[in-house]
Structure 1
Amino acid sequence: MKLAFLCHPTKDMNQSLSYYKEVLGLEEAWREGDHTVALRFTENEEVQLMVEDDEGLVPSGGVFVIEDVNQFYEENQHKLSFIKEPCDIPPGRYAIFQDPDGNPFRIIDMTKNKNISGNLV
């Protein structure tokens, strides 16, 4: 697993973006509609802050890139506590499991961003 994002759920995307941009000085890196926005701390920082309009408000936590969410789920569904089963997102697949204290681990893969040879593009 490679840490890619710190996820902060929000009830009010506009208020959160105003805070992160104007108060903390973060810059927008990308967005998926009005639901998910990633912000960068610095130009060269690999880990970004991902703000999600989350109605269920799963607590803040890391988003980890793995090779294959479906395979991970199949191999671990009976020993880990999944609170969101694998689903499609623009770059691939996404799921959430939690540790015994309820801390979320969001996992994503980039399966939709692979070319014919299997390399990430």
Structure 2
Amino acid sequence: MKLTFLYQPVKDIKQSVAFYRDTLGFDESWREGEQTVAFKLPGTEVELMLDVPPDDGARWSAGGFYAVDSVDEFRRSHPELDWQGEIDMPGGKGATFLDPNGTAVHLFDQSAAGPE
């Protein structure tokens, strides 16, 4: 598992983008539609991912997003975890579980990504 993103759900993406870009001076690194924007965090390879989630369920809580080789394999290897659901992501799949304190831990893979 490699920490890749800090996931921050937001209610207003335009307001949030303006804050992180204009007030804090972060550089935008990519966008996915009108709901998700990522920013480079100075001094680290980890990016901040802002997202307008479809609902307020636990699987959309703020937390780290960790890259794994295969979400499906990780789930099969850890059936005891408190899995909250899966999401389709560009190039792959994501899934979320809760740690013993109820904190969201997000995973993703790039299993459907094409060759670079």
Structures share fold, TM-score greater than 0.5: yes
Q: Within 1, Cα distance between the matches of 2:97 and 2:104? A: 6
User: What amino acid does structure 2 have at the position aligned with 1:37?
Assistant: V
Q: Within 2, Cα distance between the matches of 1:56 and 1:84? A: 13
Q: Which residue of 2 aligns with 1:105?
A: 105
- What is the root-mean-square deviation of aligned Cα atoms in Å? 1.6
Structure 1 residues 14-29: aligned runs within 5 Å? 14-29=14-29
Q: Which residue of 2 aligns with 1:52?
A: 51
TM-score, normalized by length of structure 2? 0.88
Aligned residues: 113
Aligned to 1:113, the other structure's residue is in SS state coil
Q: CA deviation at 1:72?
A: 1.0
TM-score, normalized by length of structure 1? 0.85
Q: Which residue of 2 aligns with 1:80?
A: 81
Structure 1 residues 23-42: aligned runs within 5 Å? 23-42=23-42
Instruction: Provide runs of 4+ in structure 1 moved above 6 Å.
Output: none
User: What amino acid does structure 2 have at the position aligned with 1:97?
Assistant: F
Q: CA deviation at 1:83?
A: 1.0
Q: CA deviation at 1:76?
A: 1.6
User: Identical aligned pairs, as a percentage?
Assistant: 35
Q: Which residue of 1 aligns with 2:63?
A: 61
Aligned to 1:111, the other structure's residue is in SS state coil
Q: CA deviation at 1:114?
A: 4.8
- Are the counterparts in 1 of residues 91 and 114 from structure 2 also a CA contact under 8 Å? no
In structure 1, stretches of 5+ residues that fail to align are 116-120
Q: Which residue of 1 aligns with 2:73?
A: 71
